[in-house]
Amino acid sequence: MSEQPIVCDKAYYAKLLELQQLDFGLLELNLYLDTHPHDHHALQQFNYLAQQRMQCAQQFEMKYGPLMNYGHSFSGYPFQWPDTPWPWQV
């Protein structure tokens, strides 16, 4: 049984890269805020990126399917989770 190659358009990779960049920024700000919880500017940046990330993920999922399983993402019909490629496969 041979696996079919995973083929995605350029927009898929661009949106996935945008999500990864937002996640990186959120992770770094989260680590900073762990030790600087009263930095209002950093908290504003964190909340802004969190909003951007939610919008980006929603756009990605509307076009390409769920990013996460177990109810963390909605699915279209029929159930989309078994569909590949999954984000970590590309």
- H helices present in the chain, as ranges: 10-35, 40-64
Smallest CA-to-CA distance from 54 within 14, 23, 90, 83 is with 23
Task: Identify whether 73 is part of a domain.
Answer: no
The pLDDT value given to residue 1: 44
Task: Identify whether 84 is part of a domain.
Answer: no
The pLDDT value given to residue 54: 95
The pLDDT value given to residue 50: 96
pTM to 2 decimal places: 0.76
Q: CA distances (Å), 20 to each of 25, 35, 39, in order?
A: 9, 23, 24
Task: Identify whether 82 is part of a domain.
Answer: no
Q: Block means of pLDDT (10 residues each) for the chain, length 90 residues? A: 60 93 96 95 96 95 83 68 68
Task: Identify whether 53 is part of a domain.
Answer: yes
The pLDDT value given to residue 9: 85
Count of domains for the chain: 1
Task: Identify whether 29 is part of a domain.
Answer: yes
Task: Identify whether 20 is part of a domain.
Answer: yes
Task: Identify whether 40 is part of a domain.
Answer: yes
The pLDDT value given to residue 44: 97
- Domain with 58, as residue range(s), is 10-67
